[in-house]
């Protein structure tokens, strides 16, 4: 194959031209003129109502439960009526949810958004006190919880009516108010109240992962989420044109099946998996928790085509599977990952274990409703260290510490502007002012860009170690450590130092029984990094690094533990 047959810019121009699938036009939103997609749905209610066209096709699969698109529409509509009639939820009121990946999660989310409520997906792995704090912060009128979350909230002040899911009977049990999943199809064919939604109405308050500080509520609109819906197809479209194929492709003859082990409350789970599945008629296979053997069984049983993962889970799969894969994996055609930095060798590893499948990587943030940039297919294999190019509707800047454009090829902070950028932090204008400047969102990520616009994430700005005035990008050191045999994962961070200001430290997880020592790591790094980037403190571990539910390493825990050990 003579690849590529067109440049990145030629592919973009073709896909966004008038009448093309990603056609754009300018619109002024909140005082800023941005590009929006002509073909994006207007709001989440439209996505829900349009999903009825898939009828009896299966939408959600959970354990032995199989829910059709029609059954899901009826349950979501019924829950919307319950919120309005029983709990008095009005347009703009907040409705929170904290539970595992049960089918009810989706019905509650779309039922709330369909009536104009602001949906608040909460991190289900948080402590009871933190959950209560986020409920109070959001001012949620109703909060839907499973039994585990109800127990955590016991005795905590949250000032919200609780609806329970899969936690016995009771007047406020979802099973009483709406019904169990096997009864959803028998619910009345009756819509939820219509509150006349507009694209720029608020739709969600999603709390940030809080890896570097206290979580903040990110206010997103219907337009922001549905801009991302369009963005999720762009990388495949661009790859097709670069390969000499046409887009859109011929209509699929079979339903696409997606495996989602990631939590639905994460921006990837909701905006880049759940919403696209409902909008495109995909079957979404949910997992209660990640289990690699269970995941492999589901791939075979359901004939899964697409895996949506974080890099850590991809690494686990690569370690578990033989080169060349197994016959049970033959249906997989796409392995996509994002949410945290990915090792450069991951793309090639995917191809070696999933013959016929392509790797795909997404880059974004809660504040951008998921995707800012994406990379896949041949482009990802050619540039395995890049997160890709910016999606069409997104303007980017790479700036220095003064906010001025960084010299070409030099690292700088990535700024983003577009219809998918959040409207501010809920009841926290001070925090919003720190990261929003004249419509631009300051991501806090240090990046470089090559001549075709491919972005390379070097580090988080706040996590960058400044050692004696020298900038040390943690991702660069982590990538170097990751090339050492027997290393499973690692995290690099700064420790305070009286003389240097900060010194470089690393926590390195190695395979059980592997004879990896601190001295060996240092010797390896000395061959590929300047001396000032080699960590002064190295901790060899046999247990996984601490991560939040989004799969991101919580470096502050590692930093605190290392400082405590030193004291």
Which has more pLDDT, 419 or 529? 419
Whether the per-residue pLDDT at 212 is higher than 60: the answer is no
Whether the per-residue pLDDT at 209 is higher than 70: the answer is no
What is the helix (H) or strand (E) element at residue 199, kind and residue range?
Answer: none
> Where would I find the beta strands (DSSP E) of 32-122?
32-37, 58-62, 65-68, 94-98, 118-121
Rounded to whole angstroms, how far apart are CA atoms 257 and 83? Answer: 31
- Average pLDDT on 541-558 reads 88
Q: Which residues contact 460 (CB under 8 A, 6 or more apart)?
A: 212, 444, 445, 446, 474
- Average pLDDT on 70-93 reads 98
Q: Which residues contact 119 (CB under 8 A, 6 or more apart)?
A: 94, 95, 96, 97, 109, 112, 113, 203, 204, 205
Are the C-beta atoms of 368 and 271 separated by less than 8 Å?
no
- Average pLDDT on 425-451 reads 95
Question: Which DSSP symbol is given to 531?
Answer: G
Whether the per-residue pLDDT at 439 is higher than 90: the answer is yes
What pTM, to 2 d.p., does this model score? Answer: 0.89
Rounded to whole angstroms, how far apart are CA atoms 330 and 290? Answer: 21
Whether the per-residue pLDDT at 210 is higher than 60: the answer is no
Alpha-carbon distances, residue 261 vs 134, 332, 375 (angstroms): 24, 15, 21
Alpha carbon of residue 300 to chain centroid: 25
Q: Tell me: cis bond preceding 248? Omega within 30 of 0 counts.
A: yes
> Where would I find the beta strands (DSSP E) of 247-292?
257-260, 283-286
Rounded to whole angstroms, how far apart are CA atoms 416 and 423? Answer: 13
Where do the domains of the chain lie, and which CATH numbers do they carry? 8-39+232-459 (3.40.50.12780), 44-207 (3.40.50.12780), 463-566 (3.30.300.30)
Whether the per-residue pLDDT at 211 is higher than 70: the answer is no
List, in sequence order, every residue forming a beta bridge with 449; answer none if it has no partner: 455
175 backbone dihedrals φ, ψ, rounded to 5°: -65, -30
Listed residue (335, 376, 340, 374) closest to 352, CA to CA: 335
Q: Which residues contact 256 (CB under 8 A, 6 or more apart)?
A: 280, 281, 282, 283, 305, 306
Average pLDDT, rounded, for the chain: 94
Which has more pLDDT, 214 or 93? 93
Rounded to whole angstroms, how far apart are CA atoms 416 and 395? Answer: 6
Are the C-beta atoms of 117 and 83 separated by less than 8 Å?
yes
The 10s digit of each residue's pLDDT in 178-199 is 999 999 999 999 999 999 999 9
* Apex 76 CA angle, 71 and 77, nearest 5: 100
Q: What is the pLDDT of residue 399?
A: 97
Whether the per-residue pLDDT at 549 is higher than 90: the answer is no
Q: What is the pLDDT of residue 127?
A: 84
Q: Per the structure block, which two tokens stand in for 292?
A: 């690699």
The 10s digit of each residue's pLDDT in 497-513 is 877 788 999 999 999 88
Whether the per-residue pLDDT at 99 is higher than 90: the answer is yes
85 backbone dihedrals φ, ψ, rounded to 5°: -85, -40
pLDDT band at 125 (very low <50, low <70, confident <90, very high): confident
Q: Write down the H helix ranges in 321-466.
A: 346-353, 377-382, 429-435
Rounded to whole angstroms, how far apart are CA atoms 338 and 215? Answer: 20
**DSSP letters for 363-405:** EEEGGGTEEEEEEEHHHHHHSTT--BEEPTT-EEEEE-TTSSB
Rounded to whole angstroms, how far apart are CA atoms 174 and 561? Answer: 42
- Average pLDDT on 75-104 reads 98
The 10s digit of each residue's pLDDT in 227-282 is 999 999 999 999 999 999 999 999 888 999 999 999 999 999 999 999 999 999 99
The 10s digit of each residue's pLDDT in 350-362 is 999 998 899 999 9
Other C-beta atoms lying within 10 Å of the C-beta of residue 245: 11
Are the C-beta atoms of 241 and 14 separated by less than 8 Å?
yes
* Apex 533 CA angle, 529 and 537, nearest 5: 120
Q: What is the pLDDT of residue 1?
A: 65
Other C-beta atoms lying within 10 Å of the C-beta of residue 323: 9
Rounded percentage of the chain residues whose pLDDT exceeds 90: 82
List, in sequence order, every residue forming a beta bridge with 207; answer none if it has no partner: 217
Q: What is the largest CA-CA distance in the chain?
A: 71
Listed residue (96, 445, 60) closest to 260, CA to CA: 60
Whether the per-residue pLDDT at 341 is higher than 80: the answer is no
pLDDT band at 332 (very low <50, low <70, confident <90, very high): very high
């Amino acid at each position: 194959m003579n690849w590529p047959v067109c440049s990145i810019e030629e592919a973009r121009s073709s896909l966004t031209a008038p009448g093309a699938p990603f056609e754009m036009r300018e619109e002024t939103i909140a005082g800023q003129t941005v590009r929006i997609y002509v073909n994006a749905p207007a709001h989440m209610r439209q996505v829900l109502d349009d999903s009825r066209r898939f009828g009896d096709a299966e939408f959600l699969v959970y354990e032995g439960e199989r829910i059709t698109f029609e059954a899901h529409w009826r349950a979501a509509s019924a829950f919307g009526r319950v919120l309005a009639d029983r709990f008095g939820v009005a347009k703009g009121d907040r409705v929170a949810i904290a539970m595992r990946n049960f089918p009810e999660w989706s019905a509650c989310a779309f039922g709330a958004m369909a009536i104009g409520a602001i949906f608040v997906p909460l991190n289900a792995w948080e402590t009871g006190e933190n959950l209560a704090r986020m409920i109070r912060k959001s001012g949620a009128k109703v909060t839907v919880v499973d039994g585990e979350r109800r127990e955590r909230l016991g005795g905590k002040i949250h000032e919200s009516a609780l609806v329970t899911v899969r936690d016995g009977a009771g007047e406020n049990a979802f099973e009483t108010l709406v019904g169990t999943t096997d009864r959803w199809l028998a619910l009345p064919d009756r819509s939820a109240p219509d509150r006349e939604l507009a694209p720029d109405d608020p739709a969600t308050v999603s709390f940030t992962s809080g890896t570097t500080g206290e979580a903040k509520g990110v206010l997103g609109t219907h337009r922001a989420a549905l801009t991302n819906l369009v963005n999720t197809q762009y990388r495949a479209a661009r790859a097709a044109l670069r390969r000499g194929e046409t887009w859109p492709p011929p209509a699929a003859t079979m339903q696409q099946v997606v495996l989602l082990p990631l939590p639905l409350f994460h921006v990837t789970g909701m905006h880049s998996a759940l919403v696209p599945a409902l909008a495109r008629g995909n079957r979404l296979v949910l997992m209660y928790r990640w289990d690699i053997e269970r995941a492999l069984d589901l791939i075979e049983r359901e004939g899964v085509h697409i895996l949506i993962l974080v890099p850590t889970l991809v690494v686990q799969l690569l370690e578990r599977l033989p080169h060349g894969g197994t016959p049970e994996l033959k249906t997989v055609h796409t392995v996509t990952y994002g949410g945290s930095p990915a090792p450069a060798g991951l793309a090639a590893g995917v191809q070696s274990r999933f013959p016929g499948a392509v790797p795909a990587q997404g880059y974004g943030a809660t504040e951008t409703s998921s995707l800012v940039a994406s990379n896949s297919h041949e482009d990802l294999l050619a540039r395995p260290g890049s997160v890709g190019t910016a999606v069409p509707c997104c303007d980017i800047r790479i700036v220095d510490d003064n906010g001025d454009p960084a010299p070409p090829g030099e690292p700088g902070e990535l700024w983003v502007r577009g219809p998918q950028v959040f409207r501010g932090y809920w009841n926290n204008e001070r925090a919003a002012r720190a990261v929003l400047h004249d419509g631009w969102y300051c991501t806090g990520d240090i990046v470089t860009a090559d001549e075709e616009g491919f972005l390379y994430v070097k580090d988080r700005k706040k996590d960058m170690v400044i050692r004696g005035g020298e900038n040390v990008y943690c991702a660069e050191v982590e990538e170097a450590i990751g090339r050492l045999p027997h290393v499973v994962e690692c995290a690099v961070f700064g420790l305070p130092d009286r003389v240097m200001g900060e010194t470089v430290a690393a926590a390195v997880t190695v395979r059980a029984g592997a004879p990896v020592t601190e001295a060996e790591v240092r010797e390896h790094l000395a061959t590929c990094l300047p001396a000032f980037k080699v960590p002064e403190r190295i901790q060899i571990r046999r247990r996984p690094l601490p991560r939040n539910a989004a799969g991101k390493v919580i470096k502050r825990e590692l930093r605190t533990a290392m400082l405590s050990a030193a004291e």
